[in-house]
Amino acid sequence: MSDRPDLAVLISGTGRHLANFIRLCNAGELPARVTVVLSTKPDVRGVHIARDAGLRVHVVRPGPAFDDRVTAALSATPVSLVCMAGFLSLWRFPPGYEGRVINIHPALLPAFGGKGFYGLRVHEAVLDSGATESGCTVHYVDDQYDHGPIILQRRVPVLPGDTPTKLAERVFEQELIAYPEAVRRLAAGDATKMRDER
Ligand code: GRF
């Protein structure tokens, strides 16, 4: 991978990670650039963030030939790393993308991941389980939800009186550190070391 990767950011909603990537790239704090944004929904905050930043945006709604339509959209722009960030669909990518598609999940995978584990549901499940810690995971994407090899994790305590919202906020603070850090290390060619950190 290039030491300054071209990022595609795949979203379905609020785009806080997208905004963070754009900010860090513009500030020179992340050696990368966002070249394209793909959203499964047309009128979400993340799409507006992308357009305001002057980025190319593709809206690809779930439905027939979804995988092919995503692949076609991404192929129109140089992309070295695909970052899923709040992307709620499964993209079964074609050969050539292996090791170049990553995701962030707001729990310590392999726990509390998989289809249906998104948003506050993740944090509700963590609290219901009685777990004493949670966190976030950046991982390579494969053909299952929240499943590929782990790149890095950051942990937070579960505190007395936590609600799903409070826990989500604490985890998200760490997500904003974890995701750029994973991209930095991938750009530096440190993927093997990253895998060993689990
Ligand atoms: C994050 O919590 C991430 O872990 C999960 O979806 C959320 C995305 O947030 N996959 P945003 O869409 O970037 O605001």
Q: What is the pLDDT of residues 49-91, one digit of tens each?
A: 999 999 999 999 999 999 999 999 999 998 999 999 999 999 9
Q: How far is CA 124 from CA 94, 121, 133, 143, in A?
A: 34, 5, 13, 25
Q: Which of 34, 45, 104 to mutate to test the pocket of ligand 1 (most atoms within 8 A of CB)?
A: 104
Nearest atom in ligand 1 to the alpha carbon of residue 84 is 10
pTM for this predicted structure: 0.94
So what's the pLDDT on residue 190? 63
Cα radius of gyration (the chain): 16
State pLDDT tens for residues 4-41: 899 999 999 999 999 999 999 999 999 999 999 999 99
State pLDDT tens for residues 141-185: 999 999 999 999 999 999 999 999 999 999 999 999 999 999 999
